């Protein structure tokens, strides 16, 4: 998910700090979630789909092009 999220952040011109703020989590927590050491909540996945105009939350677990 790390590369996928990085590509989306670049495409939507959202930096790491802005994403953490939009998700209402700290940068440290965002780092842990991106690295897979902390799970994403359903609410966070829904916010990500809204921020990045993704049709389905499942798309985060499959290749997004």
Query: With bands split at pLDDT 50, 70 and 90, how would you rate the model's confidence at 64?
Result: very low
Q: What is the DSSP letter of 39?
A: P
CATH number of 2-61: 1.10.260
pTM confidence score: 0.82
pLDDT digits (tens, 9 = 90+) for 3-62: 888 899 999 999 999 999 999 999 999 999 988 899 989 899 999 999 999 887 776 665
Question: Exposed, middle or buried by CB within 10 Å (0-12, 13-18, 19+), for 33?
Answer: buried
Domains of the chain: which residue ranges? 2-61
CB 57 within 8 A of CB 49: yes
Label each residue of 10-60 as H, E or C: HHCCCCHHHHHHHHCCCHHHHHHHHHCCCCCCHHHHHHHHHHCCCCCHHHH
């Amino acid at each position: 998910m790390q590369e996928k999220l990085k590509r989306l952040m670049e495409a939507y011109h959202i930096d790491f700090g802005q994403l953490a703020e939009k998700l209402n989590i700290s940068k440290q927590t965002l780092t842990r979630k991106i690295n897979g050491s902390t799970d994403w909540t359903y609410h966070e996945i829904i916010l990500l789909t809204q921020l990045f105009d993704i049709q389905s939350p499942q798309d985060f677990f499959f290749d997004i092009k």
